[in-house]
């Protein structure tokens, strides 16, 4: 079956540090990949997505590249801010299997200190 594995948190960084949150996946078909962000007390928001190998999704300074050879979709940001503190979820949809559901990772909490 499909699965998504994320690095365990919390990840604690100082403001302006470089961020990487690792995400790897297993899928039976040809998945699309997503990153969602959940700010404290709120629902998830779609942050970025990539639909095929070598695609790069980007939004709000965050980037992730779909790497089929390593089955990875790591989230990066060059300079984090305190306002980026949140929980980040990696997810996949495997349209090839026809499943009408995203498979989510367990989330990685990011804490950015001033």
Partner 1 sequence: NAGVTQTPKFQVLKTGQSMTLQCAQDMNHNSMYWYRQDPGMGLRLIYYSASEGTTDKGEVPNGYNVSRLNKREFSLRLESAAPSQTSVYFCASSEGGFQPQHFGDGTRLSIL
Q: Which residues bind partner 1 (CB under 8 A)?
A: 4, 32, 34, 41-46, 49, 89, 91, 93, 100-107
| Pairwise CA distance, residues 64 & 111, whole Å | 19
Q: Cβ closer to partner 1: 80 or 107?
A: 107
Nearer Cβ to partner 1 (83/106): 106
Contacts of 39 (CB under 8 A, 6+ apart): 45, 85, 86
Task: Find the shortest distance in angstroms from Cβ 75 to partner 1.
Answer: 15
**Nearest distance from residue 35's CB to partner 1, in Å?**
12
Query: For 110, how many CA atoms within 13 A lie in the half-sphere containing its CB?
Result: 28
């Amino acid at each position: 079956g499909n699965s998504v594995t994320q690095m365990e948190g919390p990840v604690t960084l100082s403001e302006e540090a470089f961020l990487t949150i690792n995400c790897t996946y297993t899928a039976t078909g040809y998945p699309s990949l997503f990153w969602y962000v959940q700010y404290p007390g709120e629902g998830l928001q779609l942050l970025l997505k990539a639909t095929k190998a070598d695609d790069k999704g980007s939004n709000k300074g965050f980037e992730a590249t779909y790497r089929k050879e390593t089955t990875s979709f790591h989230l990066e940001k060059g300079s984090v801010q305190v306002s980026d503190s949140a929980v980040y979820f990696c997810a996949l949809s495997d349209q090839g299997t026809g499943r009408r559901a995203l498979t989510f990772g367990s989330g990685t909490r990011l804490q950015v200190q001033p």
